[in-house]
Structure 1
Amino acid sequence: MTLQPGDLLAITRPVGPQAGTYQLPAAAMADLLSPLPVLGISGVLWSTVRSAADNSWQAICWSPELRLYACVASSGSGNRVMTSSDGIRWSAQPAAADQNWVALCWAAELGLFVAVSDSGTGQRVMTSADGRSWDLRQTPADNSWTSICWAPELGLLVAVASTGTGNRVMTSSDGLTWTDGPAAADQEWRSICWAPQLGLLVAVSSTGGTQRVMTSPDGRNWTLRTAAANTNWMALCWAAELGLLVALSSSGKGNRVMTSPDGINWTSRSSAADNAWTSLCWAPERELLVAVASSGTGNRIMTSPDGLSWTVRSSPADLGWRSLCWSAQRRQFAAVSNSGAGNRVMVSP
């Protein structure tokens, strides 16, 4: 069969208990059949796939060492975790408790997935060495923990919260024992990341006047920084190859992106659409930043090669996309949603 430009080819493969059909343009098929099959279309073309359960999926991450995706949810009964080795076939797993698990990271040097919750009494962290068996860990405060990251150069896990008085940060060197400490201000901290080349932890907030960023060299001592705009900053990542921190907002007009080369000085950038942007990640192998949103009509994805100029991409379903990650081994992006019927995961390609 000869494919001409503009032709479509359907690929059918098993997705959970049913079959899922991907319809890709011929040009995309040529990429799929090339020695590096997905780099030309990853982040641009997306398909939904069957989730293990219609839970409110809040966070996803990839473990290179385990070659495994793991996701956590804020709803579900005995199945608030799901895992997949390929992003297509997903298996439900029991969380350590049916709490509102909202953020997740992989700490390679510890060999642990670590998740944080905004509900529960005394135990708002859970850890797993394999993504399937999870254990609750004691936390120093019952705050609404919203984001977590691993800083290998510091040997430290750091989480931030949107509630609490003088204790909206907590840290751990092993994922098991946690210590709380003050943030730079009692604001609603929504996302945190580690920028190793800067030697800085950086967090963004959805509240707090002009100073909606804070930075720390050690996870314990924090300094407020002035954001580019007083909007609801919800997501943050470090793009090492660009030497750039990139943050996304769920509010604002044409300025829902800001960037910084140092974590201190921030510049507004034009967003491709005024959607409620919730998550982003940098794929160095693809040389691409990709963001997902929980609002918008057919345009809940945007991409950028440099963090400065953004392009809207078609989303396969207008669901509440909450979290996104990149698998270098699979050359694949995967995202999860808190809404939808049997299709709360999307992958690219």
Structure 2
Amino acid sequence: MKKTILSVAIMLCVLSSAKPSWAAGEQPGDACTVAGAVVRAAGPDQVPYLTLVCNGSTWVLADERTTAGRSLFRVGSDATACDATKVGRISFVGGAWTYCHDSSWKAIGLPNCAAGQGLTQGVAGPECCPTMGWAVTAPPEANSWSNVTYGNGLFVAVSTNGTNRIMTSPDGVNWTARAAPENLAWNRIFFGNNLFIVTTSSTSNRIMTSPDGVTWTARTVPQSNSWQGVTYGNGLYVAVSSNGTNRVMTSPDGVTWTLRTAAADNAWMAITYGDGLFVATSSNGTNRVMTSPNGITWTSRFLPGTDPAVYSIAYGNGRFAGVSSGGRVFTSTDGINWSQATLSETNFLRSITFNGTKFITVSNNGTSRIATSVDGVTWQLYQAPEASNWMSVTNGGGKVVATATSGTNTIMYSIDVPCP
């Protein structure tokens, strides 16, 4: 019996010391063509197997060694664009897992659907349903509808030309033309603290206000700048300007305004308030963001990227998100440190809003002129029902509404698409 056991032990020892004899398969650095393809490869000295992923031209290791010595399946917190060098990489950003494939980050796992929603299989994977779809309608007057907002149960849009340069709607579908106190080129409209405020860049009365969106009053301002974005926070309205000496002004009531000094003489285009901080963005200058805790004292902040002209900014899900040309979105959780994400289409993103669940942005060019994102980093693109010059988007009453400055139907509104 002892002799038998000894013989078996010797045989196992010989087998375990022998090298595998199989032929080598694909190796790191070998050429490949199918981006995202995964293979298990092995050679005589490779135990265990190697897992390789094709980046579109070359087989690369599917695992990588971290500085701590741990081996991961190409996992990181990568908020930059998905390109050929990152195919197969898994990323965890903004509480969501994605993987890099076909030039964009794809969601991993099932989406987090809202109460009352179900799941259906979409083109890019599982999707919640009913989901957001889009429809268009014509305005009461074919003006250049530059901006839209929502407040007190009413959508209100303003125009830079035409006879009646205001229109209102209770549902985003049926609109009524309204007269402005002056026929100026009205740029932006904002609602906060039970007041609508509209800005312009022409004549002395460069602001008009309304408590209901129907009856309007022209207001004088202390300086004839090109006033752009307005917001409300901490008991104060704050407006920014793209020119002039003092490019910030504040008001406790929207009627009486006081000039303030901006952090820099940039062309300030947009402003928002979130998490106790005012954040304004510009279309030129060295530091294209400025922040303030009170709307009065401002500090310049650096924005990454080349020539990042940010025309619209919103706050939601604990972060600021600003949109720019080239399909670029800039995000920050504190308003101070910023990161850049790029959509798969490099459209000119003109406006952004947050509807309580996701960010929605619209563009005035490109194939897909609508994009949505939960975190401002990973975006899903959609074609608009009409390729109009979409310039502004807002949300309210469970609906998202956008307006355009040109096109046949220059009003776009969201609709619920039922589960198939």
TM-score (norm 1): 0.80
Aligned to 2:418: none
Check conservation: 2:117, 2:130, Cα contact below 8 A: no
Q: Deviations over 1:36-84 (max 9, x none)?
A: 79x8455x42111121211111111111xx311111111112x000000
Identical-residue share of aligned pairs (%): 38
Aligned to 1:280: 352
Check conservation: 1:187, 1:207, Cα contact below 8 A: yes
Aligned length: 291
- Residues 272, 332 of structure 1: CA spacing in aligned structure 2 closer, same or farther, 3 A cutoff? farther
Q: Which residue of 240, 249, 261 corresponds with 1:170?
A: 249
Check conservation: 1:272, 1:302, Cα contact below 8 A: no
Q: Which residue of 197, 207, 215 corresponds with 2:291?
A: 215
Aligned to 1:57: 145
Q: Which residue of 369, 375, 383 corresponds with 1:306?
A: 375
Aligned to 2:161: 75
- Separation (CA, whole Å) in 1 of partners of 2:350 and 2:393: 9
Once the two structures are superposed, the pairs formed by residues 197-276 of structure 1 within 5 Å of their partners are 197=275, 199-209=276-286, 211-229=287-305, 230-239=307-316, 242-250=317-325, 252=326, 256-276=328-348
SS of structure 1 residue aligned to 2:312: strand
- 4+ runs deviating over 2 angstroms: 34-37, 39-42
1:133 is displaced (CA, Å) by 0.9
The gaps in structure 2 that reach 5 residues or longer are 1-114, 119-127, 416-420
- Separation (CA, whole Å) in 1 of partners of 2:256 and 2:351: 28
Check conservation: 1:116, 1:126, Cα contact below 8 A: yes
- Residues 326, 104 of structure 1: CA spacing in aligned structure 2 closer, same or farther, 3 A cutoff? same
Aligned to 1:12: none
Check conservation: 2:358, 2:374, Cα contact below 8 A: yes
Read off the aligned partner of 2:177 and give its amino acid letter. Answer: A
Aligned to 1:87: 172
Matched, 1:338 2:405: yes
1:270 is displaced (CA, Å) by 2.0
Read off the aligned partner of 1:124 and give its amino acid letter. Answer: R
SS of structure 2 residue aligned to 1:150: strand
Q: Deviations over 1:303-322 (max 9, x none)?
A: 11211101111111111111
Read off the aligned partner of 1:338 and give its amino acid letter. Answer: T
- Separation (CA, whole Å) in 2 of partners of 1:41 and 1:303: 16
Q: Which residue of 300, 316, 324 corresponds with 2:393?
A: 324
SS of structure 2 residue aligned to 1:303: strand
Considering Cα pairs closer than 8 Å and 6+ residues apart, tell me whether 1 or 2 has the greater RCO.
Answer: 1
Check conservation: 1:246, 1:307, Cα contact below 8 A: yes
- Residues 59, 40 of structure 1: CA spacing in aligned structure 2 closer, same or farther, 3 A cutoff? farther
Read off the aligned partner of 2:267 and give its amino acid letter. Answer: E
- Separation (CA, whole Å) in 1 of partners of 2:178 and 2:136: 21
1:271 is displaced (CA, Å) by 1.9
Read off the aligned partner of 1:115 and give its amino acid letter. Answer: V
Aligned to 2:59: none
TM-score (norm 2): 0.67
Aligned to 1:11: none
1:35 is displaced (CA, Å) by 6.5
Q: Which residue of 196, 199, 202 corresponds with 1:113?
A: 196
Read off the aligned partner of 2:150 and give its amino acid letter. Answer: W
Read off the aligned partner of 1:114 and give its amino acid letter. Answer: I
- Residues 55, 41 of structure 1: CA spacing in aligned structure 2 closer, same or farther, 3 A cutoff? farther
Matched, 1:145 2:215: no
- Separation (CA, whole Å) in 2 of partners of 1:124 and 1:333: 28
- Separation (CA, whole Å) in 1 of partners of 2:187 and 2:129: 32
Check conservation: 2:240, 2:248, Cα contact below 8 A: yes
SS of structure 1 residue aligned to 2:311: strand
SS of structure 2 residue aligned to 1:233: coil
Matched, 1:157 2:237: yes
- Separation (CA, whole Å) in 1 of partners of 2:338 and 2:195: 33
Read off the aligned partner of 1:249 and give its amino acid letter. Answer: S
- Separation (CA, whole Å) in 1 of partners of 2:292 and 2:238: 11
